[in-house]
Amino acid sequence: MSIQFDGVEILNTTYSPRFVKHESVAERALITLPLGREDGEAFIAERYGKKVVRLQGIIKASTQALLEAQIATFTELFSRPQKNLDISWNGGTLRYVATCARHDFDRDHYHLNAVPWSAEFVVLSGEGRSSTTVSPEDADEESISWTDGIVDTTFDLEGSKPPKPVATIFITGANMSGIEYKNLDNGERLIATYPGAWGSNRTVEIDFDRKTVEGNVVDSVTKPLNVYGAFPRFRIGTNNVRIQRGGIVNQKSHDDLVSENLADQSIANTSTKYAQSFQVPRQDATFQGITLALRKQSTPGTLTWRIETDSDGSPSGSLVTNATGALAHGSASSSFAYHSLYSASPFQLEANTDYWIVLSAISVDGSNLWRFGSVFPGLYPRGRAKNSSDGGSTWGIYNPKLDLMFRVLMGGIPESGTGKHTIEYQPTYL
């Protein structure tokens, strides 16, 4: 048994603790909402507040003078704020970061060489952590393989409160410029990008406690990466995650190709163009593609997509540098499907700026044409759809209730490949 505060052992013949009470759970607040026209309340959320650890014992010395010197030393020790309070627990050590909020000596006239003492430590985080870092067996240097940029994997976490682990992802044979780490159980996702081809044998480290993402992705020098989204939270037990490299969705209008939500539109002549505006929330230079819901009818010519800047609420005709690509009819079928289309090089988009995806085609007529999907009603909040019948000279709103079914993709082009995924954490206890 051991009780240490700031590295000083308390469980000895001088301080003689009678007990240390740390098993009680921190204050727990339940957030509820009264039910309308019904009895009872609905559970919304919970949060844990601070935790109190209580110690009590007897401080001893051979003389009164030595006792008073020990009291002074003891008082100074317990005055140190936010120090480690380490207590033997379950065959190991449980560590709290604690501050002594109250420290009493119950001294009477006859206490010449011994005096009772008590202390209350406040753990502001409300939790204790094992002093030992562990790695789940199912995520300890686990080899993973990406297929078209995606791999799903699982790991188990122990303790009585979900910990905040460190995830290390080792990537071989990569050439993309971004990675997404998504908790499939709650949908929370984190995106990290860095411009330039990442190369092979690179490492990305995600610290879910410190809220940092670092990697040596471009030039072998470890540095902070650009971070989007939220650091996913995990649960005790099995966690399911998806790690995606390249082809990461930044903006989208819809994911469903169900017929009742799909408006089937067409490019049946070379003068027809369709466009959809969008905005991205942050500047990034790793955009490299879009996804469209498409099908062909017979044998149309090549479909071209491009991203243009805005001019008075319509496409300007000015191309965002590198933001263009094409799809030949041989790569499509007569049934609707999502097609991810990539440019030859990455391009940069600015934050909160209107851009337009513009679609056109060659060698199309009433029999040989491209059909693309739009969602009805359109609920995409950052843009709208327009069309032109004169090659883009003038633009009008085809239907104010429609949005093009699209995604804007960042992080470079998705790639297959291999790597490793490691989880390390300190088991956490309430």
User: Of 14, 2, 219, 26, which Cα lies nearest the Cα of 95?
Assistant: 2
- Segments of 246-354 assigned E as strands: 248-252, 262-267, 273-278, 284-297, 303-311, 314-327, 337-349
pLDDT above 80: residue 62: yes
* pLDDT-based confidence at residue 14 (cuts at 50, 70, 90): confident
Query: DSSP secondary structure string, 66-94?
Result: HHHHHHHHHHHHHT-SSEEEEEEETTEEE
Q: Which tens digit of pLDDT belongs to each residue from 307-363?
A: 999 999 999 999 999 999 999 999 999 998 999 999 999 999 999 999 999 999 999
Distance (Å, whole) CA 121 – CA 378: 56
Decide if 137-247+416-429 and 250-410 have a common fold. yes
Judge whether residue 259 has pLDDT over 70: no
- The answer to pTM > 0.75 is yes
The helix/strand/coil state of 261 is helix
Tokens of 30: 């339940």
Whole-number Å distance between alpha carbons of 221 and 218: 8
Residue 243 and residue 228: Cα distance in Å, rounded? 15
Cis bond leading into 163, ω under 30°? no
Burial of 215 (0-12, 13-18, 19+ CB in 10 A): buried
At the second CATH level, the architecture of 3-130 is Beta Barrel (2.40)
Q: How far apart are CA 411 and CA 287, in angstroms?
A: 6
In this model, does residue 141 exceed pLDDT 90? no
CATH number of 137-247+416-429: 2.60.120.860
When the pLDDT of each residue in the chain is averaged and rounded to a whole number, the result is 92
Q: How confident is the model at residue 261 (pLDDT cuts 50, 70, 90)?
A: low
As a whole-number percent, the residues of the chain with pLDDT over 70 amount to 99
Percent of the chain with pLDDT over 90: 74
What DSSP string runs through 205-220? EEETTTTEEEE-TTTS
Task: Give me the pLDDT at residue 260, please.
Answer: 60
Confidence of residue 405 (pLDDT cuts 50, 70, 90): very high
Fold of 250-410: Jelly Rolls (2.60.120)
What is the rounded average pLDDT of the residues 199-218? Answer: 95
Local confidence band at 176 (pLDDT 50, 70, 90 cut-offs): very high
Tell me the domain boundaries of the chain.
3-130, 137-247+416-429, 250-410
End-to-end Cα spacing for the chain:
20
